[in-house]
Amino acid sequence: MINFPIPDQEIVWYLPDQKEVIEFEEGLSNSTYLVVNEGRKYVVRDFHSKKNVSDSFRELWMMQLAAEIGIAPKIVHVDLKQGYVVIDYIEGHHPDVGDEDLKQAVRQLKKFHQQEQYEPFSSIYEGYRLIHLDDMTRLDKAITVVQQIETVIKKYGCTFCHLDFHTKNIIQGNDGSSWVIDWECAGLAHPYYDIAKLTHNFPFDDALDLLAEYLEKPPTESQKAQFFIIRAVVYMSIATNRYVRGETEVASSALDDFLEIISSETFQEQLHERDISLSS
């Protein structure tokens, strides 16, 4: 038996009494534990050891995706504020090299690879499922619009993006070189997302200057429309992420910004722009 790193009352809230906590002997890190309760087994993953909350958040929604398509254990309970996730324990064994079971595992893995993880939408939806506010009206409205935006934006392809591109993740070398750090959030997204994330608090004209630098030419009206829409999505990404982290004031402010943007005539015009194209 070991001293459980998560407050006991939090586990009691979720699990019945008479629990037993066992350290895994192999194959898992010291932040993962087996909880035996009335004959049923659970795995508890402690996220307190994570250096970055976004790292935990990203791992969580990947676990959820794998569970939803039937290739990973079901997530039973999540509390990112307390720092843990509880999943079902799978009875079984590790296959050996050359084992026929490996063929089945490979087929299962293919299911995961065929999923379209288009960011930041996937993370926004996963965050939304974890949020429980007394009044979800504003958030529900926002998610409906995010789904409309995704339908429009996904038509125009995606590329590998940093997804957390801001000044603290940029280092300007003493020799004049520029470096980008902290790639743990990287994934597939619209090519303009990183610029939108960097500039979401900039005046729009200043943000367009950096977009022009990225494009190496002035953006067309169609490119401006895409950029305007993507900048709006950044606020929803911030809102859902901060709600999950328990930073309600910051989250609510970002949600207000998103709702203000989508209520504007400019947004409606840009969203329904028929000539949006990355190549225009």
Q: What is the pLDDT along the chain (280 residues), one digit of tens a residue?
A: 222 233 333 443 344 444 566 655 544 444 778 888 777 888 887 766 555 555 666 677 667 767 777 778 888 887 766 777 888 888 877 766 566 766 777 777 676 666 566 789 989 998 999 999 999 999 999 999 999 999 888 887 788 788 899 888 888 878 877 888 877 777 788 989 999 999 999 899 999 999 999 999 999 988 998 999 999 999 999 999 999 999 999 999 999 999 999 988 888 777 765 444 433 4
Both 30 and 82 in a single domain?
yes
Query: Residue 146 and residue 262: Cα distance in Å, rounded?
Result: 10
Q: Are residues 164 and 220 located together in one domain of the fold?
A: yes
Residues with Cβ < 8 Å from 87, sequence gap 6 or more? Answer: 42, 43, 45, 63, 67, 73, 74, 75, 76
Q: Name every residue whose Cβ is closer than 8 Å to that of residue 32 and which is 6 or more positions away in sequence.
A: 24, 43, 44, 45, 46
Whether residue 72 is found in the same domain as residue 208: no
Domain stops at, among 44, 76, 104: 104
Query: Does any domain span residue 279?
Result: no
The pairs formed by 12-17 with CB atoms below 8 angstroms and a separation of 24 or more are 14/77, 14/86, 15/42, 15/86
Domain with 49 in it? 8-104
- Between strands 19-23 and 84-88, the pairing is unpaired
Residue 157 belongs to domain with CATH number: 3.90.1200.10
In the chain, the amino acid numbered 111 is: K
Residues 217, 177 share a domain: yes
Q: For residue 57, tell me if it sits in a domain.
A: yes
Q: What is the dihedral of CA 131, 43, 83, 121, to 10 degrees?
A: -40
Q: Which of 82, 104, 126 is the last residue of a domain?
A: 104
Is residue 217 in a domain? yes
- Tally of structural domains, the chain: 2
Residue 87 lies in a domain: yes
